[in-house]
Every structure is written in structure tokens, then in C-alpha cells.
Copies of this chain bind each other. A is one copy, B any other.
Amino acid sequence: MDKKRLAIGRPNPAAGNGLLDRRHLFGAAAAGSMAALISRPVVAAAGELAVEPWMRELGSPFVGYGQPSRFEAKVVRVSSTAPGTTGTGASRTPHHLLDGTITPSGLHFERHHSGIPDINPDAHRLLIHGLVKRPLVFTLETLARYPVESRIAFIECGGNSGALYQKDPAAGGMQALHGLVSCAEWTGVRLADLLDEAGADPKAKWILAEGADEAGMSRSVPMAKAMDDAILALYQNGERIRPSNGYPLRLLLPGYEGNMNVKWLRRIKVTEGPTMTKDETSKYTISLPDGKALQFVFPIEAKSVITHPSPGLSMKGVGLYEISGLAWSGYGKISKVDVSADGGKSWAAAALQEPVLAKALTRFRAAWRWNGGPAILQSRATDDSGYVQPTRARLIADRGMKTIYHFNGIASWAVGQNGEVTHVYA
């Protein structure tokens, strides 16, 4: 085995910044000296392992529904609410403390407008009406008789990363700045089947979707999307959707901005045009420098963020680190993620974790040898439409800084000589 290969480092020719070709890390031939580059584990004499107290006593009994370890109590969503309210605001996923691509349902981000309704599923109804031949009311039991499908999909709030439109770099890290995106396996009935069933009028180009919260939060959705891949989701990550994510029924519009994925869905009205609700007029529109605004910007453009390292996860000594993050596109599959450690001067391709699924979070990973000096980490996603995630400067040149919505520019983490990681513009 050629142990020297990895020790030498074999930097990616495309990068002069310590980024390594991952193939050299994963081949058995190369792994022998990985620890030298990481931080050599303690070499122990056999039998030295302590018998810890939990091996000296019987463990705890079975419970019907398991919970995380008490030692993980810090792994929670962090929420912020409008003044004077407890349920109007958002909570953010702590991606810097997670790994993989599925977001546990208890940590899926939330955006509520009047808190979380406590819906009795036996009383809940879905009405489909408007420009239809046959208005229909469904119970959950009737809905569940229709053919069902599952898909793993991300949901991202239109306001995620909105702080990066500000002039000065906001404090905070992955959770505070980019925590309004999550990913789950959703299972439910195809909306197209129900609209066919109701006999939607061919001249109807939109639907209105309304939630059963106190706000009656509602959004207009193009009929083309409703007939394409919209799902009335009953299950999230295998179990019934949790109240904070829309129990018992949520509209899933894969790849469309989060607000349109109406929770607690109670009503779909087939309409000729959009209904112009509050959340598509005064909110979720992109104000441009010239005073105009972009309305009905639905799909999320390709985007990526590095979750490890990120602020709060400091570097501990020079050597090898895995840079890891999440990429997604509302238009399809992620085809490539490039990573830079020098603020975008040079790039190296990251490995994408299989399976890469359309409109789902994709985990990317790249090996990086930190030499102890300052560095600026960035990631840049490309999707299978060929679209490349823009720099922040490019995005702002196009769109200005008057909005908080649909920020998908490249984000930057600075690594200081002390190993601390902070949010910067670069």
C-alpha cells in the first residue's frame, strides 16, 4: 500500500488551497495515514478501555416512542416571534449539529402566522370547490383511499438567508442565517387525481390553497404546478405529519417556496386567476431597486451552504477536515457542487452523496487540509438545468438589497488563525 499518497496530500490540481481529491481519501490504499493528517488518536494498550458506569447497571426499559439522548438537549430549533405574539414567526433547523440529508421531523423548520392549531383529524375536512364540475369534501379516511406516493423533498422558506441582503454581514451561523430549509420524506395523494375527480374547468389556471390555522393562511398556486407534482401530504418521515408541519394535511409543492406549501390544508378553490392574498402581495414579493417588485417567484433556484465547519464549530488544530454541506434546487437535481477555501479564487469538486434526488437536499463532502492560516470557505451549486449559484455580488447587482426573499447567493465562512469560524462577505 502506498501510504505516501495521502501523506503527500496530492492537492486537487484545480485548487491551491488545501482541498484534496476525495478519491485519495476513500481508497483503501490511501487510508493508512489519514490519522496523521487528522489528529492522531490516542494509541492505547489493549485492555485499557475503562468500564463505564452504564456498563455496571441495567439500562432503562422500553418506551413506546423514543426520544433523543438527554446529552443532546442543545440540538433544538431556535425560534423568533413577532412582538406580542408566541406563535407568529419562524423556527430554524440546527443543521450545524446534524448530518445526512433527512431532517428529523421534530427539527424541521417552521413558519407560523397564528401558532399551531390543535386539529382533530376526525373533524378535519378538505373542500375542493370553485371552477369545478363537482365540489367535493374529503375526510382523511376518504383521502387515504386514493393512490399514494412518496418523495423526499426539501422545503425552504422564501425568506431563508434573507439577512445576506443586508449591507453588513449578520452575526450568527448556519442555523440563524440558513436554518429555514429542511428535508423530509413526504407521502400522500396526488393533487392532480383530486382535481380530475372534481372536474376542474380547463379555463381555470390557478388554485387557492387555504390552511386551517387562525390566520387562514392562503396562497395562489398555478394549476400547472398543481397538476404536475403537487402532493396532499399525510405522512412525514413515515409517520403522520406533526402539528408544527401541518397535521393532518399539508400541500407539498416540491421545489416551490415554503410559504406555498400550505399547512393544515382545508380548502382548495379552483380559480381563473390568482387570488392576491396577503402573502403574495404585501409579503413574498421581491422589491427591486427601481421600486417595482417581482411577484409570483415560486421555484427555489440552485443553492448550497457549508454546514461543517460553520460558526460555532471551531477548527481544532491544523490537519485534515471534512467540509460538508447541503445543496438543493427547486428545478431538479444538483449536478455539481464546487468548494473553495480561498474565497472563490480556486475551486474543487465536492463528492455528492448518492442518491441525488430532484428537489431534495443533497449532501456534499470535500476533504480539506487546513494549514492553520486564515481561509474563506464557499460552496457553489450547479443544477441539472445548467444553472450555477451566483455570487452574492452578482445577485445583489441584479436584484438590489431592498428585499429579504429568495437569497441564493454564495455564502462565505471565514476561518481565523485561532480556528474560529465566522460569517463574512467575500
Residues in chain A within 8 A of chain B (CB atoms)? 22, 25-26, 28, 31-32, 34-35, 38-39, 41-50, 52, 54-72, 75-79, 81, 85-87, 89, 91, 97-108, 110, 112, 114-121, 123-125, 127, 129-130, 134-139, 141-142, 145-150, 185-187, 190, 192-193, 196-197, 199, 212-214, 216, 227, 234-235, 237-240, 242-245, 247-248, 266-267, 316, 319-322, 324, 353, 355, 357, 363, 365, 367
Contact = CB atoms under 8 A, between A and B. Distances in A.
| Identical chains bound together, number | 2
A248 B31 CA distance: 24
Contact of A147 (B25, B135, B237, B248): B25
Contacts of A66: 77, 105-108, 110, 242-245
Nearest to A149: B353
B54 A101 contact: no
Given A45-B135, A148-B324, A60 B239 contact: no
A248 B72 CA distance: 10
Given A69-B240, A146-B38, A216-B55, A62 B87 contact: yes
A59 B115 contact: yes
Contact of A104 (B25, B54, B238, B355): B238
Contact of A89 (B42, B57, B62): B62
A30 to B, nearest CB: 9
A40 to B, nearest CB: 9
Given A68-B240, A100-B187, A59 B213 contact: yes
Given A115-B58, A145-B320, A104 B239 contact: yes
28 contacts: A28-B192, A38-B145, A41-B136, A45-B135, A49-B127, A52-B123, A52-B124, A54-B117, A54-B118, A54-B214, A59-B114, A60-B118, A62-B89, A63-B77, A64-B76, A64-B77, A65-B68, A66-B77, A67-B106, A68-B240, A69-B242, A69-B248, A71-B119, A100-B150, A100-B235, A100-B237, A101-B238, A147-B322
